[in-house]
Amino acid sequence: MPRKKIDILTYDATLRDGAQAEGVFLSTEDKIAIALKLDEFGIDYVEGGFPESNPTDIAFFKAIRMHTLRHARLAAFGATRRKKMKVENDPGIAALLAAGAPVVTIVGKSWDLHVRDVLKTPLDENLRMIEDTVRYLRRKRKEVVFDAEHFFDGFKADPDYALRCAVAAAEAGAQTVVLCDTNGGSLPEDVQRAAAEVRKVLDIPLGIHTHNDANLAVATTLAAVSAGATHVQGTVNGIGERCGNVDLCSVIPNLALKRNLKCTAARKLDELTDLSRFVSEVCNIVPRMHQPFVGLSAFAHKGGQHIDAILKNPRTYEHVPPESVGNERRLLLSDLAGRSTVVEKVKKFGLKRKGDVTNRILRKVQEREHEGYEFEAAEGSFELMVRKEIGRHRGFFDLEGFRVIIEKRENGQPVTEATVKIRVGNEVKLTVSEGDGPVNALDGALRNALREFYPAIREVRLVDFKVRVINPRAATAARVCVVIQSRDRKDVWGTVGVSENIIEASWQALVDSVEYKLLKDGTRSKR
């Protein structure tokens, strides 16, 4: 597949390295969905998995044949042939060929310590394992990417042997040699120095694959690019084993916006945040709020002076425009923010800077904050409050009552049951749900009651639940502030409720969460 005028090729390993992250479990269907999304975004290579290692990866390579990748080249991952075995007899190599992927990525040892202590084979045999495997796969008309595992540790210990491993792969026919910081502990200057030495002896594309154990994965990747690497491997959101892989959601914008390098994925850079959240959703992990470029807080401003400066010139406190990566600026409402923050936030409703309505909203915010409401992380509730104040709110249902029962049975496990009765238009709906606790049960009952009228709420998931005591001196009679964070496949939003009763406070936040979802989707009220 010809690619013209591209400086950097991107290689995504989310479906293999990412799936090795603690708490991440991907089904075949999940892997297909992510692969198609990566292809649509413009990633050049999508690594589908290790077809010898597990049934899910084998099923993925079979299932992906039913789909057409319009840009990305599919790669199967495997290892060099086993020691003292002919490559054509190795079951792992046979599994790679059976996967049917046009690209095969082979990992081989390049650190003498691993060759001696893990493979327990002579150094020259390891070189023959690399050469035999690459040469055989090239004869089978595969594009071969060679991952030199632990390259930088190997280069420190024995630079001559590490270089011989890279050269062996290249001379056997590998189209790309990738230098791997497998333990994730290398410093940027060490990576740049070693990559520069490899660049002197190889005339084929050089790649980089880093891990984040020293929190330097992005820096080491960029250092390798400075030394001549043109093939960058990573995962979406940096998920991976231990501390994770390098985050492509940081690498790609750095390459495109800071280095002015061309890569196909950068052509859809304004869809980067959507890609990040999509992968989080499929992997069933909570998005990192403070993740650079794509996190909810990446362009959030709280201090009054900062917000004042941002409103005058966004470049004062933003290193790139948020829209360039598909994110958005957020001005947080808090005791550190000033009047200008509130005024700016209500501009979307067509209100002018001055006037009775604006002043009324300001007073309402102050009253609510005095009562204990926190709008900093609850912009969904803030927008609903503003709409009510200016007469632009349209409710989607009316509560006729709810009841929560907690019963502890003989086995010692408490059981919670919630009953919700709502009215939508002329219809009354009564539903019951059990849950792990009162909020979980209420959430289930509310969804059961509404999904017939508003199917879109099936997409909503609660991802965080926080409770703060407002006046602790009142002890068990104290008011509490409940903040809920919700998400769907596109957005993340927060809502808040305050009451002396934690169930009531939670109900307020739950209702706002559902109403905000329906509001932002443009759902028509059935009342």
Tell me which of 342, 359, 376 is where a domain ends.
359
For position 348, what pLDDT does the model report?
66
Output b/e per residue, 136-164; b: 16+ Cβ within 10 A.
bbbeeebbbbbbbbbbbbbbeebeebbbb
- pLDDT score of 155 more than 70: yes
Per cent of the chain over pLDDT 90 is 73
For position 349, what pLDDT does the model report?
63
Q: Are residues 272 and 167 in the same domain?
A: yes
Residue with tokens 């109403």: 515
For position 26, what pLDDT does the model report?
94
Taking only the tens place, the pLDDT of each residue in 268-326 is 999 999 999 999 989 988 889 899 999 989 998 877 678 788 888 999 999 999 999 99
pLDDT band at 355 (very low <50, low <70, confident <90, very high): low
For position 376, what pLDDT does the model report?
76
Say which residue, 67 or 522, is predicted with more confidence: 67
Residue with tokens 């009215």: 423
Q: Which of 54-58, 347-351, 421-425 has the lowest mean pLDDT?
A: 347-351
Query: Is there a domain that residue 380 lies in?
Result: no
Work out the average pLDDT over 491-507: 93
**Mean pLDDT across the chain:** 91
Taking only the tens place, the pLDDT of each residue in 441-495 is 999 999 999 999 999 999 998 888 889 888 777 777 778 999 999 988 888 899 9
Q: Which of 26-30, 242-246, 487-491 has the lowest mean pLDDT?
A: 487-491
Which CATH number belongs to the domain containing residue 23 in this structure? 3.20.20.70
Query: Is there a domain that residue 512 lies in?
Result: yes
Which CATH number belongs to the domain containing residue 335 in this structure? 4.10.430.20
Q: Which of 43-47, 136-140, 166-170, 408-412 has the lowest mean pLDDT?
A: 408-412
Distance CA 384, CA 500 (A): 22
Query: Is there a domain that residue 439 lies in?
Result: yes
Q: Which of 20-34, 100-114, 302-316 has the lowest mean pLDDT?
A: 302-316
Query: Is there a domain that residue 526 lies in?
Result: no
Residue with tokens 């006037």: 355
pTM, 2 dp? 0.80
- pLDDT score of 40 more than 50: yes
**Is 126 exposed, middle or buried, given 0-12, 13-18 or 19+ CB atoms closer than 10 A?**
buried
DSSP 83: T
Query: Is there a domain that residue 25 lies in?
Result: yes
Work out the average pLDDT over 230-252: 98
Q: Are residues 217 and 109 in the same domain?
A: yes
φ/ψ of residue 64, rounded to 5: -65, -20
Q: Are residues 244 and 110 in the same domain?
A: yes
Q: Are residues 191 and 97 in the same domain?
A: yes
Q: Are residues 254 and 304 in the same domain?
A: no
Tally of domains within the chain? 3
Work out the average pLDDT over 22-33: 94
User: If you average pLDDT over each of 22-31, 138-147, 338-347, 439-448, which comes out highest?
Assistant: 138-147
Tell me which of 359, 386, 407 is where a domain ends.
359
Query: Is there a domain that residue 56 lies in?
Result: yes
Distance CA 99, CA 47 (A): 12
Q: Are residues 304 and 182 in the same domain?
A: no
pLDDT band at 3 (very low <50, low <70, confident <90, very high): very low
Distance CA 439, CA 75 (A): 45
Q: Are residues 426 and 345 in the same domain?
A: no
Taking only the tens place, the pLDDT of each residue in 387-404 is 888 888 888 999 999 999
Choose among 71, 70, 61: nearest CA to 9. 71
Distance CA 215, CA 221 (A): 12
For position 101, what pLDDT does the model report?
97
Q: Are residues 274 and 163 in the same domain?
A: yes
Q: Are residues 271 and 308 in the same domain?
A: no
Say which residue, 379 or 20, is predicted with more confidence: 20
Query: Is there a domain that residue 392 lies in?
Result: no
For position 113, what pLDDT does the model report?
97
Q: Are residues 159 and 195 in the same domain?
A: yes
pLDDT band at 1 (very low <50, low <70, confident <90, very high): very low
Look up the domain containing 55 and give its range: 9-283
For position 2, what pLDDT does the model report?
45
For position 270, what pLDDT does the model report?
96
Distance CA 73, CA 95 (A): 18
Q: Which of 220-229, 236-245, 358-367 has the lowest mean pLDDT?
A: 358-367
- pLDDT score of 52 more than 90: no
Q: Are residues 64 and 191 in the same domain?
A: yes
Q: Are residues 481 and 436 in the same domain?
A: yes
Centre a 10 Å sphere on the Cβ of residue 295 and count the other Cβ atoms it contains: 20
Distance CA 283, CA 340 (A): 39
Query: Is there a domain that residue 365 lies in?
Result: no
Q: Which of 66-70, 122-126, 286-290, 417-421 has the lowest mean pLDDT?
A: 286-290
3-state secondary structure of 515: helix
For position 170, what pLDDT does the model report?
98
